[in-house]
Chains A and B, each alone.
Chain A
Amino acid sequence: MNDFIAARSQMALSLGFHIIFSCIGMVMPFFMAVAHYYWLKTDQLVYKNVTKAWSKGVAIFFATGAVSGTVLSFELGLLWPEFMKHAGPIFGMPFSLEGTAFFIEAIALGFFLYGWDKFNKWFHWFTGVIVGVSGLASGILVVAANAWMNSPAGFDFINGQYLNIDPIQAMFNKAWFSQALHMTIAAFVSTGFAVAGVHAFMILKGQNVLFHTKSFTIAAIFGCVAAILQPLSGDISAKDVAIRQPAKLAAMEAHFKTEKSAGLILGGIPDEKSKRVDYAIKLPGFLSFLAHGDFESEVTGLDRIPEENHPPVGIVHYAFQIMVGAGMLMMAISLLYFLALWKKRSWLQSNWLLKMFAIATPLGFIAVEAGWTVTEVGRQPWIIYGIMRTADAVTPMPGIAYSFYLFTAVYVSLAFIVIFMLYRQIKMVGRLYDN
């Protein structure tokens, strides 16, 4: 494996690992706050148990999220020193604000996890909400930094120099809003479906049904609302990408030839050499509509973009299909669930609905990973879009492949331990909380 590929793989691995924990860290506090609120209001013990059980899971996830995030803040320099040398001062604003958000999150978490029966109960509840709010804030900030890589702003690039830096303008670049919105909703979708799925599975197994039903309902409602909103926000993102990164949009859609009234390609196997997509379903005019809101408009294809600036079409196209496919499925499940809640209460007891959720457990996270693949691989070969190439940013140190193997081993083991501990938490629910 060459060093450049190793560095990219290590970055992708670390980010792909971290994002799972950060989604959970951002969203679970809100689920807990709802359960906690019901406990304080209704005195039903089951809600206290749900809150406590979740908070233990969150502590595990939070610690893993925090260490993997710490690793990331060093990796940016370890792997991409040339990038950080120039980008640090420009896109640093969100990171410096994020430091505050993390700090507040860590402090509030200390109060929340260790503060049971120690403080005024509403103060204690409130610290839980603060954990969630500051988590969301840090997620939005770090995505703003990523958005800057997609849509550089806040400096003048003159003769290879980065002049007149304005960190505030850099933070509020053109991509930050659509990305932050889409990512925030994605965190709710993925965490909601994952949590609901696990509890649905436990209900199907007939264990601690009351406990798992309450948990399921909270997670499912959050997840489903978000899943219905997500395709709308995805549409905003797509229109945005069409304007600011036509190469990425073309790769997502495997759209090789610039044309008016372009067709939307579903599935298919793109071939970069012959510039064809085999075995695809084509919906005429729909790509123009998706990209620019007009069936007739022209959509830039890869033929307008110099060959050396093409992102890898295959990966981006497949990843995009996976994300959209997962998104559509989850939206359909969500619509069924709300139909059940409002009109067909009997469905709520039925096995097929629960089975559907149990099967959908990983869908949200699959979509998140796929979505980030679209964004990051679709930006290639640029690390700062149009300004700096990824290949020019990489560390001069040889032997990165070993570092990549090492981190892979560490993250794989960590993933196993976390899953193993979660399994044990769930298994112990009966012993700890059944009364």
Chain B
Amino acid sequence: MLYIVIAFLWASILFYLLLGGADYGAGIIELFTSRKNKEVTRKTLYTAIGPIWEANHMWLIIAIVILFVGFPVIYSTMSVYLHIPLTVMLLGIIARGTAFTFRHYDAVVDDMQHIYNTIFAISSFITPLFLGIIAGSAVSGHIDTAANTFLSAYIFSWLSWFSVAVGLFTVAICGFLASVYLIGETDNDGDRLRFAHKAQFFNIAAVLCGILVFAASFLEKIPLFEWVFGNWVGRIAIVSATLSLVWMWNLLYQGKLALLRPLAGFQVTMILLTTTYRHFPNIVILKGGGYLSLMEHSGQEKTIETLGMALLLGSVFILPALFYLIYSFQKNPIDYRQEAH
């Protein structure tokens, strides 16, 4: 049962990265869009994610619940030492979720829209940045449970080149996912080209940030290179992700859009796989070589048993409903003008 629970945890993180990530990315794109094109971006975004945005963010809740029920030591250690980035991320979540809803449901359209839009775009950037920082810090080995100063316990646990680089990488991935996602939502060549350019931009950004992550890992003596390339799973994943990327760009230039999303999803899945595979089951690495492990730091058997049952039961209800939701609104998209205001 423990493996089932871990699989659910991994899957929720993956889905959050893919779906929530695309969702954040759409806001990031807005941040990087010229003023005159913002409105089109916004409309495409709204038609694409309006009905499912709430559901996209549930994956985070599922992941966090699994963590605090099944792996309480991991949850509470991270909560203590990563208090500050977690708080920033939460503020980002508050700002983003409310601004997204407010701008579509405000009965009067006036200058407030500008405020909502600004908050939305900025928090769409900040939130995944800090999510990435948190993920990076977990494996960076900078969390020091023996620290006795404020700085070493609560600041340097997360403020490092490596963590920040992972944060930027996450932002780039989100932007990339969103651009690819939105290409399929456009209804004319002009917009399609614009999002294709955006995808290109974020693709390059992701590669650059990736290099930054590796550079930082060398600087801070984090054996990232070994984690990724030191085993067959990692090597195969990286090669297949790269090949699929080439394939994806080829398809895009030929104007074949059907496979773009699955391919982009595949690439991100491979990235998550390589980065988690090698040091599974240790998901938090502490200063001085200690670690917190999903196997050793799990709750008592009975807890894991019931948690697993609850998750299995839940997925019987959730997955079909979620697919039907996505399918329905793909087939029958909402009309921006009619629904807003």
**A interface residues, Cβ below 8 angstroms from B:** 56, 59-60, 62-64, 66-71, 73-78, 81-82, 84-90, 92-93, 95-100, 102-104, 106-111, 113-115, 118-119, 164-168, 395-399, 403, 406, 410, 414, 417, 421, 424-425, 427-428, 432
Contacts and interface: CB of A to CB of B under 8 A. Distances in A.
Contacts of B104: 59
Contact of B108 (A68, A99, A424): A424
Contacts, number: 211
A109 B70 CA distance: 29
Contacts of B31: none
B54 A110 contact: yes
B334 to A, nearest CB: 5
5 contacts: A88-B75, A93-B310, A95-B65, A97-B313, A406-B91
Contacts of A74: 64, 79, 86, 90
Interface in B56-110: 57-58, 60-62, 64-66, 68-70, 72-73, 75-80, 83, 86-87, 90-91, 93-94, 97-98, 100-102, 104-108
B288 interface: no
Interface string B101-145: 110111110000000000000000000000000000000000000
Nearest to B310: A96
A100 B51 contact: no
A432 to B, nearest CB: 7
Interface stretch (B161-169, B181-189, B249-257, B299-307): B299-307
Nearest to B106: A421
A116 B60 CA distance: 29
A125 to B, nearest CB: 16
B214 interface: no
Given A74-B86, A89-B300, A93-B310, 11 more contacts: A66-B97, A67-B93, A73-B68, A74-B90, A85-B73, A89-B72, A96-B311, A104-B317, A119-B328, A424-B108, A428-B108
A395 B69 contact: no
Contacts of A111: 51, 325, 328
Given A86-B72, A89-B72, A67 B94 contact: yes
Contact of B321 (A73, A107, A432): A107
**Which secondary structure dominates where chain B touches chain A?**
helix
A92 B76 contact: no
Interface residues of B, number: 64
**Which secondary structure dominates where chain A touches chain B?**
helix
A377 to B, nearest CB: 24
B24 to A, nearest CB: 14
Nearest to A83: B76
Closest 3 CB pairs of A and B: A92-B69, A77-B79, A100-B314
